Structure 1
């Protein structure tokens, strides 16, 4: 929450790859879960991309070792009494890895680029509080009209349309990182390349072998380079959790971010207790409906029926068993802000739910004699497949025939982002610890709205209203009302609130569980 008083914040395949490393260096080996589709901060959307981008491009406001907000490229900042003018003072010693100074103009350039429609930035709506941002992103205004200005080389001013409770968190996201204007102006395309992309963060991109590994090397030009203990971090795109676990046990990984396979979770608890890290996570596992007119899910009766027939406790307790919370909501309960609400069937018996589901499907024209044919998309992971198969079995009595379509993460999410699906598995990981991150995604121009075609003007107004409110109790009430509107539309099929499960070697220091699952490598070291 922004204080109304002026604030000043001051700085206080794989085996071969492993063999090729210089083992005399302080090298951290990380299972990253998937192959990045891009490392451009304005075009990425996956956590497996953001983990790497965060190390390459420092933001004005950064994350500390416990996930807290700390000064980054800006050593201090002030917020006006009315909460609408933010002035950032960049570190004079900050420079790009090619030796060029990092300036306020780089920040202006980056924010303008982020909001250009051609970027199709996944989280662009989180920057709509900036004057002119929405109009620019919708193609109604030029980027130069954005309410950001460089007062001098090291002073940036951002003008907001209104005070916004969560905006400082948005500035800590990868998308808000200043980018090297001097380099991008000469290399606008394919500008991310090993050995030549200027970076501002603690690590630079030194090697990228697709589907094999990405190596980041310590950036000696980083403003806090003396405090960085690691020489290298190597990221492996391991999508199969069993493979990741086996590689960790073999000693070829120091950290694994692939979720521990549910069928081996008990074994890991017993045999690797010093490595297993389980913690609350601001993330939601759900299925997206394509709500466009040509889709069978444009009929709310079908959406409600599938939600009614879904036995969430079977998935969380019998299939997974790692502490996930079965949900009939979108905003995870661990999220700050106090948002509540749930789908209307939550307190009904399963028999009553199934009877109601059959009635709805029959009214919509479907049943065992006239089945609904649906393609269900999911990305590669054994647990995703097990959940998809379980859902197909749960819906079979309603007359729903499911065809499974499996693809690797980049292909899957590209299809979802383009709206090329009927029913799709989705994992939404918060980029800010605020309900707006989830609810804003389903507002018009939000990422989920673009993917699914969802639109509800009353919902949009509630979400917009919530960002203007600084009183915590009133804001929680409006956010809850917004979520309930979305749930009453059965716009999605929620399954559970995530928990984060990771494997972290006892040799690793400085890695801390955080609700946002942010672990800056600047603070991490490894015992050689």
Structure 2
């Protein structure tokens, strides 16, 4: 795909309506309700039609590490555990496991009938190879830090240790033994993540490009990859080699790659998609008439400040920008998908040892306060020696049209509440991500979806040396708290460390949280059983079509 970049200086009507307190424009009366959706022909194979928005980054387990890759991969392959319908880990490729009394050694027993899509048996050695490949610095995986829970993995990844020193071992073909660096109550959740999926060792060693085409892809999940027309659509069919194939009701799934929500909505209306996101400019009506569905999610939409670029090398200026954004108006009038405003970074749906939600305990850490924001901006400008604020560019990807609308709303709020003029830069998703990773963007859009069900997953990413950081921000106290939380066996103490770390993150303000994700969608009445995990990825194992 070609890079698309432009500078936008004016707000759209939706933003103007936002500031005036009015809802965005409603759809016309011509065919907007789900009842007008065409009914796909059901006499043939049961093929579920979904939209993946964009081309997967990679279907190689350690390399994808984003939702557009892992929603697909989660159905082509499978780990030792799988998140069940209740969001809890349940036996998958492993039929059972034992945990040592000290909570540090896990012994997994693989199923005798676990097979790869090419018919080969899945072996414990496939997991050992895959997990060491995840941690191997030569692999260059953005997900490598997840393996640090395993003893020896962090040393291996940092170049201070070896693969042999990483404590994961295939005892025999069906027994995998793992020693953790410290007890981790979330480990069974973690290994359901696609980063920990096995790979077929012989295939990977013979063909480094194995995960790029349908003809060479080998998986061990409910479906197998059958066709892949890049940047257009991807098809999978039921995997008859899957150990639980009897549970899989669909004959196949076709994933479209449509990143315009209105186009996708029209395809839903005509039966070319069975489910789609709720278009933001139609959300009010679709929720009001009951056609839109919503369920709890996890994850955060936010912006990153590049603390190495002026003016965001000044903390007070970053804080001022944070306090100038009315997050409640953003979710009420722009996104309109029943999200909660993000007045901190860690989202809801993570439970403390006493059962309370981490977010409720931590409370609101950032607030909308235009007057305080103006004061902080003035103080920050004085500290930095500015009489005029250096130019500010809001950068966003074009992966979804909603990204642009949110950027425009922020642009208007910064102008209204701070008196700051900004430009908007739009670019194609891959180019955007590349520039953000290289710290070439000043103020840029981001999102985080949890890889497993623990707040440490959110906080780990902003350690000084984590590739996910992408802000240039470094804080020794924050780093120490996160490292200590990883090592702490007492969950009560561990959660307090995580709260303390989040307070530092918000106070230092290398990021601007915007809203917490919910899962809102339109779905055909023909569809049943799609599991949209709040703490994981879309699961089609139990899906069916009437």
Partner of 2:52: 32
Partner of 2:298: 282
Partner of 2:344: 329
Partner of 1:265: 283
Equivalent residues of 1:61, 1:171 under 8 A apart:
yes
Partner of 1:511: 530
Cα offset for 1:379?
A: 3.2
CA distance in 2, matches of 1:226, 1:345: 50
Residue 145 of structure 1 aligns to a residue whose secondary structure is coil
Q: Does residue 521 of structure 1 match 2:540?
A: yes
Partner of 2:438: 418
In structure 1, the gaps of 5 or more residues are 1-17
Between Structure 1 and Structure 2, how many residues are aligned? Answer: 501
CA distance in 2, matches of 1:386, 1:177: 36
The match for 2:483 among 464, 471, 474 is 464
Residue 538 of structure 2 aligns to a residue whose secondary structure is coil
Partner of 2:155: 135
Output aligned runs, 1:242-257, within 5 Å: 242-256=262-276
Superposed CA offset, 1:131-187 (max 9, x none) = 111111122222232111111111000111110122221111001011000111111
Cα 1:96–1:190 change in 2 (3 A) is closer
Superposed CA offset, 1:293-339 (max 9, x none) = x5532221221121122222221223233322222311013333325
Equivalent residues of 1:291, 1:452 under 8 A apart:
yes
Partner of 2:11: none
The match for 1:58 among 78, 88, 96 is 78
Superposed CA offset, 1:450-502 (max 9, x none) = x2222212111111222333444332221111100111111211111122112
Partner of 2:391: 372
CA distance in 2, matches of 1:116, 1:324: 38
Partner of 1:74: 94
The match for 2:326 among 311, 334, 349 is 311
Equivalent residues of 1:305, 1:358 under 8 A apart:
no
Residue 185 of structure 1 aligns to a residue whose secondary structure is helix
Cα offset for 1:342?
A: 6.2
Moved more, 308-317 or 73-82: 308-317
Partner of 1:123: 143
Cα offset for 1:215?
A: 0.2
Cα offset for 1:44?
A: 0.8
Output aligned runs, 1:55-454, within 5 Å: 55-256=75-276, 258=277, 260-271=278-289, 273-274=290-291, 276-292=292-308, 294-337=309-352, 338=358, 340-341=361-362, 346=367, 349-366=369-386, 369-396=388-415, 398=418, 400-449=420-469, 451-454=470-473
Cα offset for 1:391?
A: 1.5
CA distance in 2, matches of 1:51, 1:418: 26
Equivalent residues of 1:218, 1:231 under 8 A apart:
yes
CA distance in 1, matches of 2:207, 2:334: 48
CA distance in 2, matches of 1:216, 1:517: 20
Equivalent residues of 2:210, 2:217 under 8 A apart:
no
Cα offset for 1:380?
A: 3.4
Equivalent residues of 1:67, 1:518 under 8 A apart:
no
Equivalent residues of 2:134, 2:143 under 8 A apart:
no
CA distance in 1, matches of 2:529, 2:510: 40
User: For the aligned residues, what is the CA RMSD?
Assistant: 2.3
Cα 1:399–1:139 change in 2 (3 A) is farther
CA distance in 1, matches of 2:285, 2:474: 45
Cα 1:116–1:517 change in 2 (3 A) is closer
Residue 384 of structure 1 aligns to a residue whose secondary structure is helix
CA distance in 1, matches of 2:366, 2:219: 50
Equivalent residues of 1:374, 1:400 under 8 A apart:
no
Cα offset for 1:194?
A: 0.9
CA distance in 2, matches of 1:192, 1:46: 16
Equivalent residues of 1:500, 1:517 under 8 A apart:
no
Please, what TM-score do these two structures have when normalized by structure 1?
0.89
CA distance in 1, matches of 2:530, 2:366: 41
Residue 60 of structure 2 aligns to a residue whose secondary structure is coil
Superposed CA offset, 1:264-286 (max 9, x none) = 01221244x35x22112111010
CA distance in 2, matches of 1:419, 1:268: 39
Equivalent residues of 2:381, 2:389 under 8 A apart:
no
CA distance in 1, matches of 2:439, 2:372: 33
CA distance in 2, matches of 1:23, 1:464: 56
Cα 1:53–1:349 change in 2 (3 A) is closer
Residue 131 of structure 1 aligns to a residue whose secondary structure is coil
Cα 1:432–1:302 change in 2 (3 A) is same
Cα offset for 1:344?
A: 6.0
Superposed CA offset, 1:324-364 (max 9, x none) = 22223110133333255467653x74323323333323433
